[in-house]
Amino acid sequence: MKELSQAGFRVVVPDQVGFCKSTKPAHYQYSFQQLAENTRALLESVGVKKAIVMGYSTGGMLAVRYGLMFPQQTERLVLVNPIGLEDWKALGVPSLGVDKWYERELQTSAERIRNYEKATYYVNQWKPEYEPWVQMLAGMYRGPGRELVAWNSALQYDMIYTQPVLHEFPLLRVPTLLLIGLKDTTAIGKDAAPPALRPRLGNYPDLARHAVHRMPNATLVTFADMGHAPQMQDPARFHEALLKGLGR
């Protein structure tokens, strides 16, 4: 936010429904279409007619859906290590269903988050400055609302698994910048997949190459030594690439 603001951009950063400080509904039908509608309504409410839409991880899937639904209101997309560059269901990852996702989410702890992020986000390296983000997420599961947090998270995972966007990449007409750490191995439900399938999932060098070829107006910038969170692993390099890609 600071880097983009200093470069002259107005920056609007929402927490989507169910995430971080936003509402955790007891009953909600999660869909990327609905989250895109929410985002568009928010931008209209603050006077934004056209925007560069930047999405990270799951937000990358949402940004693609936004660009497909609102091309006239989208100047360009920026996708930072988006998930959903492959269709896990079609590849053979079994459906866990909402109840199993809920059971898994109830087991969330700082240790599990830290171990996962160390492996996928930071290429098996760890720095003290990463710890606040672990505690932020783990803290949501420590309070009296942990069941509601877990339930919303389960619904979100089901949305991610059942609503792929990659099949519509060729329909995406807005300019798109992909910023991808190639050491990323993220794949939803990988641990539940058959052992023979797991090594084929989350191959970001291949996924990035295929994605940029399927998007009609896309540019790919890669970070060979970074994982799922290049903006956190090496902010200076990431910001330089981002601003260059935006032409600033």
Could you give the CA distance from residue 73 to residue 71 in angstroms, rounded to a whole number?
5
8 Å CB contact between 162 and 63: no
8 Å CB contact between 227 and 184: yes
Mean pLDDT of 2-6: 96
8 Å CB contact between 149 and 24: yes
Q: Is residue 78 part of a domain?
A: yes
Q: Is residue 119 part of a domain?
A: no
Interval 139-192: pLDDT, tens: 999 988 999 999 999 999 999 999 999 999 999 999 999 999 999 999 999 999
Query: What is the DSSP-derived secondary structure letter of residue 189?
Result: T
Rounded to the nearest integer, the mean pLDDT of the chain is 96
Looking only at the bridges linking them, the beta strands covering 74-80 and 176-181 are parallel
Interval 44-67: pLDDT, tens: 999 999 999 999 999 999 999 999
pLDDT at site 143: 86
Burial label for 239, CB within 10 Å (0-12, 13-18, 19+), is middle
Q: What percent of the chain has pLDDT over 70?
A: 100
DSSP H or E stretch at residue 221:
strand 218-223
Does residue 26 surpass a pLDDT of 80?
A: yes
Q: Which CATH number goes with the domain that contains 196?
A: 3.40.50.1820
Could you give the CA distance from residue 58 to residue 84 in angstroms, rounded to a whole number?
8
Does residue 105 surpass a pLDDT of 80?
A: yes
8 Å CB contact between 219 and 245: yes
Q: Is residue 83 part of a domain?
A: yes
Q: Is residue 232 part of a domain?
A: yes
Q: Is residue 169 part of a domain?
A: yes
Instruction: Please give the structure tokens belonging to residue 198.
Output: 């797991």
Within 8 A by CB and 6+ apart from 35, the residues are 16, 17, 62, 65
Q: How confident is the model at residue 116 (pLDDT cuts 50, 70, 90)?
A: very high
What are the residues facing 77 on neighbouring strands? Answer: 53, 176
pLDDT at site 129: 95
Q: What percent of the chain has pLDDT over 90?
A: 98
Within 8 A by CB and 6+ apart from 149, the residues are 24, 105, 140, 141
Q: Is residue 21 part of a domain?
A: yes
Q: Is residue 130 part of a domain?
A: no
Does residue 36 surpass a pLDDT of 90?
A: yes
Question: In terms of residue numbers, what domain contains 172?
Answer: 2-93+164-245
Number of domains within the chain: 1
pTM score, whole prediction: 0.96
Q: Is residue 107 part of a domain?
A: no
- Across 57-206, where does the E strand assignment appear? 74-80, 176-181
